[in-house]
Amino acid sequence: MLADQLKNIIKGDVSITEQDLLKYSHDASIFEVKPEVIVYPKDTEDVKHLVKWVGEHKSEQPSLSLTARSAGTDMSGGPLNDSIVLDFMKYFNHVLEVGNDYAVTEPGVYYRDFEKATLAKGLLLPSYPASREICAMGGIVANNSGGEKSLSYGKTEKYVEELKVVLSDGNEYVFHALAPEQLEAKKSQPDLEGQIYRDMYALIETNYDVIQKAKPNVSKNSAGYYLWNILNKEQGTFDLTKLIVGSQGTLGLVTKIKLKLIKPKPVSKLLVMFMKDLAPLGDLVNEVMKFKPESFETYDDQTLKLALRFLPALIKSMKGSALSLFFKFLPEAEMVLTGGLPKLVLLAEFTGDSESEVDDKLKSAQEAVKAKFDVSTHITKDAEEAEKYWTIRRESFALLRKHVGNEHTAPFVDDVIVHVDQLPSFLPKLNDLVKQYKGLTYTIAGHAGDANFHVIPLMDFHSEENRRAIPELSEKVYDLVISMHGSITAEHNDGLIRTPYLEKMYGPQITALFKQTKDIFDPQNIFNPRKKVNADMPYAMAHIQKE
């Protein structure tokens, strides 16, 4: 029996209880994939033994694989698989060091705990996602996460300085940016690491122009392998962390992460804008962007209605007095009762080193918006008031997951990105596509400053009609996004749900290079199969949840 065999080679724990197998059959996606066994590796030696064991037994048991999992908040089916799932949360859960401008962490650390440790030294990882309270560091790196501050600070790929990774030979290697002489030394090594550097350098150098041309021309992208980021000819560096970040555990198992940090601005306030007409959205976003907000978020009327419908649960997730927080939502409740609900609520966050600096920015931005657009505006007075708007934005998906009865959140076209000036035409076209499916309710939230939107439909998965709609609607939405030279996923990555569409986005030549990359790192397909390459649409569709 597989579980018994694994117990003999590691110090950590192994589970095949129905309760655990059910838990690890799900993440935050539409899928259910039951693993054969759950392993909780105790240390790096356990991880190395597992990889070596699977490599040795793969030929007689081709279905064997290893899939890393941290907090299980992924929305693409990334940590789901039917063989061995490795939970890094139980033992790999330590922040190892916080320096003057960096931190070293294990992958199973909750972001909320990581942030407490960094803020204690006045530092922040600004690429945290909206799921910041429940996600973990391994997933942030595996998905190349981004969030509300990515508008100003960029995504996780920008902050990863070094990774320790167990590769397919069962050995742990350190990856960081290499100068030319360091690269040559790596290429001369007779081991797997040397082979990877030789082969990856040849792949990048031979196909350099076509790879650079394929780089999505949008501010954020999580689709495919980031081949265009590895070789920086201007800086003279070759950095495979740029490839491993966002690879969803398909190239190796990350055991340690070193991240660069920033010093956040001490003062923050919001300019809140309520739009009843989407037509001027693109112009409005461009106008506000002139004043350089640190974050620029949005959510729609459906999200606001949901927040008010489940107000007690929302208030519970906020800090402070429940009664005072309740009264802070009265203006929004009045909007619903009077029919004055906006189509979109936009939150532009301005930060600085002093109150006066931030107030000057807010006043200038508010005056410019009022002069050109027929929108209501409001400037938050304090952090507690701002928290109300942030909580609605951050908790919108969690509220949907917990309170929709027989329907399920169905994040399958949930992370598209286009260009800001395309918003006035893109959003109506997107709405028209979704409205073709009668009775399909959905919310829209996202990052207005990046034109990155999370579209979350609600579905009854018992309905065969709804299940058929998933690939049909995906195809239509992705055709629209690609026609606008956008990306099918800005933050949430490919997983089971979007890997089948990568060739549509990149074409056969680039997807063939993705496959070569996977083969260079993982020739036996040990790590997280069916993600990034070797897409299996029938497998994905067969594993949509039924309950």
Structural domains present in the chain: 2-87 (3.30.43.10), 95-260 (3.30.465.10), 265-402 (3.30.70.2190), 404-511+538-547 (3.30.70.2740)
Which of 365, 179, 347, 199 has the alpha carbon at shortest distance from 275? 347
Q: Report which secondary-structure segment, H or E, holds 328.
A: helix 322-328
Q: Please state whether beta strands 231-232 and 102-105 pair in parallel, antiparallel, or not at all (unpaired).
A: unpaired
pLDDT tens-place string over residues 392-427 = 787 766 666 665 556 677 888 889 999 988 887 888
Do residues 511 and 197 lie in contact, with contact meaning Cβ atoms separated by under 8 Å? Answer: no
Please give the pLDDT value at position 173: 98
Do residues 342 and 355 lie in contact, with contact meaning Cβ atoms separated by under 8 Å? Answer: no
β-pair partners for 348: 271, 296
Which of 461, 457, 506, 508 has the alpha carbon at shortest distance from 485? 506
What's the CA gap between 103 and 118, in Å, rounded? 7
Question: How many whole angstroms from its chain centre is CA 25?
Answer: 19
Contacts 24+ apart (CB under 8 A), 197-205: 197/238, 197/240, 199/520, 200/230, 200/240, 200/243, 200/517, 200/520, 201/231, 201/238, 203/227, 203/513, 203/516, 203/517, 203/520, 204/230, 204/231, 205/231
Do residues 298 and 345 lie in contact, with contact meaning Cβ atoms separated by under 8 Å? Answer: yes
**HSE (side-chain half, CA atoms, 13 Å) at 53:** 16
CA distances for 376 relative to 286, 330, 500, angstroms: 17, 17, 42
Which of 358, 184, 158 has the alpha carbon at shortest distance from 259? 158
What's the CA gap between 316 and 432, in Å, rounded? 35
* Count of residues making up the chain: 547
Do residues 458 and 408 lie in contact, with contact meaning Cβ atoms separated by under 8 Å? Answer: yes
Question: How many whole angstroms from its chain centre is CA 50?
Answer: 27
Which of 331, 338, 333 has the alpha carbon at shortest distance from 310? 333
135-156: b (≥16 Cβ within 10 Å) or e: bbbbbbbbbbbbbbbbbbbebb
Q: Report which secondary-structure segment, H or E, holds 47.
A: helix 44-57
Where would I find the beta strands (DSSP E) of 339-473? 344-352, 376-379, 408-409, 413-417, 441-447, 452-459
CA distances for 418 relative to 128, 235, 449, 480, angstroms: 21, 29, 11, 10
Do residues 524 and 55 lie in contact, with contact meaning Cβ atoms separated by under 8 Å? Answer: yes
Please give the pLDDT value at position 465: 84
Per-residue pLDDT of the chain (547 residues), as tens digits, is: 899 999 999 999 999 999 999 999 999 999 999 999 999 999 999 999 999 999 999 999 999 999 999 999 999 999 999 999 999 999 999 999 999 999 999 999 999 999 999 999 999 999 999 899 999 999 999 999 999 999 999 999 999 999 999 999 999 999 999 999 999 999 999 999 999 999 999 999 999 999 999 999 999 999 999 999 999 999 999 999 999 999 999 999 999 999 999 999 999 999 999 998 888 888 999 999 999 999 999 988 877 777 777 666 666 666 655 555 555 666 666 655 565 788 889 999 999 999 999 999 999 999 999 999 999 898 988 777 888 788 778 776 666 666 555 667 788 888 999 998 888 788 889 888 988 887 677 878 889 999 998 888 878 887 888 888 899 999 999 999 999 999 999 999 999 999 999 999 999 999 999 999 999 999 999 999 999 999 999 999 999 998 6
pLDDT tens-place string over residues 258-297 = 999 999 999 999 999 999 888 888 899 999 999 999 999 9
Full DSSP string of 461-507? TT-HHHHHHHHHHHHHHHHHHHHTT-BS-SSS--HHHHGGGHHHHH-
Question: How many whole angstroms from its chain centre is CA 91?
Answer: 23
Do residues 359 and 267 lie in contact, with contact meaning Cβ atoms separated by under 8 Å? Answer: no
Q: How far apart are the first and last CA of the chain?
A: 29
Which of 459, 520, 529 has the alpha carbon at shortest distance from 167? 520
CA distances for 5 relative to 2, 167, 450, angstroms: 5, 21, 49
Do residues 382 and 388 lie in contact, with contact meaning Cβ atoms separated by under 8 Å? Answer: no
Q: Please state whether beta strands 84-87 and 37-40 pair in parallel, antiparallel, or not at all (unpaired).
A: parallel
Question: What phi-psi label fits residue 18: left (phi over 0), alpha (psi between -120 and 50 degrees) or beta?
Answer: alpha
CA distances for 126 relative to 14, 150, 151, 229, 361, angstroms: 35, 7, 10, 20, 21
